[in-house]
Amino acid sequence: MTSALLWIVACLASGLVLVVLYPDSYQQDGGHHFIFARWAWQHPELFVSVWQRPLFSLVHAVPALGGYEVSRCWAVLISTTGATLTWLTARRIGLANSWRCIPFYLLQPALFLMWGDTMTEPLFATVLSAALLAHFSDRQRLGAVLASLLIGARPEGAFVALVWGLMMLGNPALAKSLLSRGLCSLLLALGLVSWVLAAWTISGDPLYIIHNWPPDWSAGAAAYGKGPLWQYLARFPEIAGPLLMIPVAAGLWNLTRSPGLRLVAALFLFTFAMHSVMRVFGLFGSAGYARYFSAFAPCLAIAGCVGWNQFCARWPQACNGRTWAAAVVVSFVANFWFVDGAAWNRDARAVQSAKAWFDLNQPGLRVDRFLWSQAAMNIAWDRDPWEEPTLSAADPAGALATLRSMPPRTLICWDAETGPALKNISIEGIKASGFRLIYQQSHQLLGLMPAFSMFNWGGPRPQTIYILYKDPH
């Protein structure tokens, strides 16, 4: 119990350190999820948006009113809750040294990168942890209800429902007849049904989810390219940890051979296989990110504990306390270095500098509309995201025409990297659309830890931030 409590404190402390040291998400998605949760009260359709995820909006909508830092601290609590519930699940199924599930959860690099981040994977992992705890506490119907909510956090919720449903059908302890077990498995549709009804109520469109489906998620879009079948396997060190992946892999193998615990391994392995196939064909916008599997952190953490216990039983001299301490310390250092090398989270520093300049030098400038190239800019100015029109990267001519049609007193905060890369709009194009440049500052944004060029991770990030304004005629 003492070891578990100390590790829970470590989870909270690690998250708060990350929030303080790194002021933004490592991807644009985190900032956008926060923005949409904050503004869902003005735009209720964001509570049921497919990309935004209804469960995320529901959980973060109130904390987001307190600002980005408050929402990120709330995310730390969510992540820590997931680790705690996983430990309780490990205790429930009788794992020796169940407290080790907490570091196996915390030290997954891709998840650690999002520990205090407003991304959807940590929330998914926490709800999955709660569902597993209910399931192994002989409250299988409650477990199914909780698992049904996962579709509202990430699309992988569909994979969970399929695997969970098959396990329920094959579990005679749930009900005697196959028909009764089938009826119980219908609980796994509760989350989707609730989402459909809520979306219908808010939008008035019974097919809102279909009509709101992002175009780059279509079956054959291949919006993020394709990759080899083994792409996610090659990224397994990033998923489970370069050192800790060894006991995790061993634990997954052992879990597959345990009828009572097979669900834990099946959830991760089925999703891993499906994502690998989707990546080969570029289906449903599969982008090759290791973070997809952070959603299954409880499965990996339980597997890691099982694997480490097996190693300790087989090689007690090698797998002792010193070996464990060394693995944990190295993993902690590697994970902080991993976060530090994620260059995108540094841009917020440059954006904050631009906002400070604007507040000091343009205090009376009237701004009726605000456009931006990075989520950090909207967070800094705290403007309604609906002020920005659609600027399609696939139609740069149309995007520039939209900029030319923007009304006077429109302010734009842009950058030299993300804007051209994601929206295909350069600063020259914005100026040619009738905007006056009032601020430009170039930066060499450095990490807080030494960069290791041999891994091509870290190093300086060149970035330039611009502020432009359309004067009244």
Question: Where does a domain end: 315, 340, 365?
Answer: 340
- Select from 342, 463, 352, 424 the least CA-distant residue to 30: 342
Q: Are residues 320 and 232 in the same domain?
A: yes
d(CA 416, CA 127): 38
For residue 449, the model assigns a pLDDT of 84
Q: Are residues 316 and 367 in the same domain?
A: no
pTM higher than 0.85: yes
For residue 171, the model assigns a pLDDT of 81
For residue 457, the model assigns a pLDDT of 67
Q: Are residues 46 and 105 in the same domain?
A: yes
d(CA 422, CA 10): 37
Q: Are residues 181 and 238 in the same domain?
A: yes
For residue 214, the model assigns a pLDDT of 81
Q: Are residues 430 and 369 in the same domain?
A: yes
Q: Are residues 242 and 391 in the same domain?
A: no
* Number of domains observed in the structure of the chain: 2
Q: Are residues 244 and 363 in the same domain?
A: no
For residue 133, the model assigns a pLDDT of 98
Q: Which portions of the chain are predicted below pLDDT 70?
A: 216-223, 452-457
Half-sphere exposure of 30 (CA within 13 A, CB side): 27
Q: Are residues 375 and 242 in the same domain?
A: no
Q: Are residues 268 and 399 in the same domain?
A: no
Domain housing 373: 344-469
Question: Where does a domain end: 340, 359, 385?
Answer: 340
- Select from 107, 106, 191 the least CA-distant residue to 143: 191
Q: What is the pLDDT of residues 321-347, one digit of tens each?
A: 899 999 999 999 999 999 998 888 899
Q: Are residues 219 and 78 in the same domain?
A: yes
Determine the 3-state secondary structure of 244 from DSSP. coil
> Exposed/middle/buried for 390, CB within 10 Å: 0-12, 13-18, 19+?
exposed
Question: Where does a domain end: 276, 311, 340?
Answer: 340
End-to-end CA distance of the chain: 69
**Tokens 């440049």 sit at which residue?**
437
